[in-house]
Structure 1
């Protein structure tokens, strides 16, 4: 066996390995995307009312880059100084809203960013969740 055969064999082996790795990574990525989409659909059916409201907000051009939102009681809004353009979800409008938010938080779709020492619950949307909401056809 001469040196050129060994070099050719090495190059072919490396090329086949690279193609195999690329195919495997593509498969794993597609599986992860399918898993996230499936999870989102399941959550959508469990939390339809809340997700529809969130989707409406994310589709609204006024909130294009808004990622934070507050959770309040309806009578609480008037006694607080909130930012002028902010998203608010009311406890009275959604069944067991706090538990729904804990579920979304457990899947890393939102994060609790409430400031220490404040009674005002504040959350932040994950970018992937915003993307999934915007893509959802209703």
Structure 2
């Protein structure tokens, strides 16, 4: 076989438009790093600062969720985790489900469930009432008695 008999290698053709798989891959790496920071910060504050795990109660959660900083911290953690998990599940479905209709249906279900859980979780964080009417004052955060 001489060198002139070899065919030139095939050059892959780039499709027009955005490459969603590349953006999904990049999102998984970036969100994973950010989630590590958010989760370990969350665990450190909840379990190690102050009185530790014995201080975690309704009043503790109410106090945290009445602060906009912690609301946004928890919402960012929620959004990143659900999108990260849904993207991972989408990747598994794309890799292992061969039937196109079943794969499309499963991917849509994953997306709808993730979007619904993100919406409900966000509503809980931003509409949480740390001082519900008629509750035992001993169980509520200290600032509730001032209201």
**What TM bracket, shorter-length normalisation?**
0.3 to 0.5
What TM-score, normalized to structure 2?
0.33
| Structure with the bigger percentage of strand | 1
Higher helix share: 2
Larger RCO of the pair (alpha carbons < 8 Å, separation 6+): 2
Q: TM-score, normalised by structure 1?
A: 0.35
